[in-house]
Amino acid sequence: MAGRRPGAPDTRGEIVAAARAELAQRGYDGTSIRAVARRASVDPALVHHYFKDKQRLVNAALALPADPVAVMEPVLAAPSDQAGEAFVRALVTTWDDPANRESVIATTRSGLGNAEQGSMITEFILRGPIAAVVDRHRPDAPAAVSAMLLAQMTGLVVTRYLLAVEPLASMSVDEVVALVGPEVQDVLDLDATRAPA
């Protein structure tokens, strides 16, 4: 298990995949450089060669293959009275894609298991996808709208993917959109008289 394996064309990619699998299974605190190296069948020194520390490795492992800007395009283009359903459809379609699913699970498990990691992920989501949707469809929204959107999406990820609660875990995208979309729309439509700023 020492050094670079002969014939391995993408050792860095294999290390990232191993880290993603560890994070999905064990979360941030339960993932170590040694465990990642063991899963990737490389020496821990090689992991350090590519990634100077655990945080850089985690950042690479949690990066979604899907471009968040592209994922949000149909949501931003949707009429405001259909933005809730468009938001749920865009996210669940992305999360269901096998290329993204492990990253989504790893990110969520890491964020829930480590306060520092959770703060970073929350900040990214609130300032990224959620901010884009709120700025486009509810620029006058009270702060509670963004917080509730984050709460609903986190709840959906945990219930559908981490806990695999039925029947939600096996519903089609259309079924999830029909169930959750109206609730998200209600949050987007929340007015300042019903929520604290």
pLDDT tens profile 132-156: 999 999 999 998 999 999 999 999 9
Say what the alpha-carbon torsion angle 57, 59, 65, 68 is, to the nearest 10 degrees.
Answer: 180
| Cβ-proximal residues to 96 (8 Å cutoff; 6+ apart), any chain | 173
Q: What tokens does 47 get?
A: 């992991």
DSSP 99-144: HHHHHHHHHHHHHHH-HHHHHHHHHHHHHTHHHHHHHHH-TT--HH
pLDDT tens profile 43-93: 999 999 998 888 788 878 877 667 777 889 999 999 999 999 999 999 999
Specify the pLDDT at position 110: 79
> Over 50: is that where the pLDDT of 118 sits?
yes
> Over 70: is that where the pLDDT of 99 sits?
yes
Q: Which domains does the chain have, with CATH numbers?
A: 11-62 (1.10.10.60), 68-188 (1.10.357)
Closest CA to 75 of 123, 124, 121, 138: 138
CA-to-CA separations, 80 to 13, 34, 97, 108, 188, in angstroms, rounded? 40, 48, 26, 28, 9
d(C-alpha 95, C-alpha 89), whole Å: 10
d(C-alpha 130, C-alpha 134), whole Å: 6
Q: Angle at CA 178, nearest 5°, toward 134 and 127?
A: 20
pTM of the model: 0.73
